[in-house]
Amino acid sequence: MGNNWNEIEEAMTKEAEELVEPDRKPRHRWWNNECDQAVNERAKLWKLWLADRTIEKWTNFRNQRKNTTKIIKRIKKNQDKEILEGIESDFKQHNTRDFYRIFKDQLRRYQPSGLCFRDENGKLALGNKQNLQILGRYFEKLLNCDEPKKDCNS
C-alpha cells in the first residue's frame, strides 16, 4: 500500500508541475520575464558547454553571459530612472506625501558597500574609524617621504 501511495503522489506532483508553473517570488522589484529568459538561456548554454567543451560553445556562453549582464543592468537602470522621475514629479507637483514616502523607502533600501582595508600587518579593519586610521597612515607615509635625489628634467 505504501508503494502505491508514492506512485500516486509522484503522478499528482508531475501533473501539477506540468499544468501550473510554480509561482516564484521575484528576486527584485525590477526583475521581469526578460531577465528570467536571459538567465535561463545563459544557464542552458553553460550546460551545453559543460557537456561538450568546445571553443564555439564557450564563445556562445560568453556572449550570452555578456548579453544577460547588459539586459539586467538596462532593466535595473530603467527602474531606477522611473523611480527618480516619479520622485521628481511628486516634488514639482508639491505632492509632498508621496515624495517623502518614496524617498524614504529608497533611502531605507540603500546599503553602503562594506569597504575594508588591511593594515600593515594584514589585519582587516572592522569599522570606519579603523579604515580612516589605516588610510591616514598610508597617506602620511606617501606624502612625507624623502625628496628625490635625482632631477628628472636634466
For every one of its 154 residues, what pLDDT tens digit does the chain have, with 9 covering 90 and above?
557 888 888 888 877 777 766 666 666 888 888 999 999 999 999 999 999 999 999 999 999 999 999 999 999 999 989 988 888 888 889 888 888 888 888 778 767 667 788 888 888 888 888 888 888 888 888 888 777 777 666 5
| Residue among 127, 93, 90 nearest 112 (CA) | 127
CB-neighbour burial class of residue 112 (10 A; exposed 0-12, middle 13-18, buried 19+): exposed
C-alpha cell at 142: 606617501
CB 116 within 8 A of CB 124: yes
Q: What SS3 state is found at 118?
A: strand
What integer pLDDT is reported at residue 29 of this predicted model? 82
Give the pLDDT score at 75: 94
The three cell numbers of residue 140 are 602620511
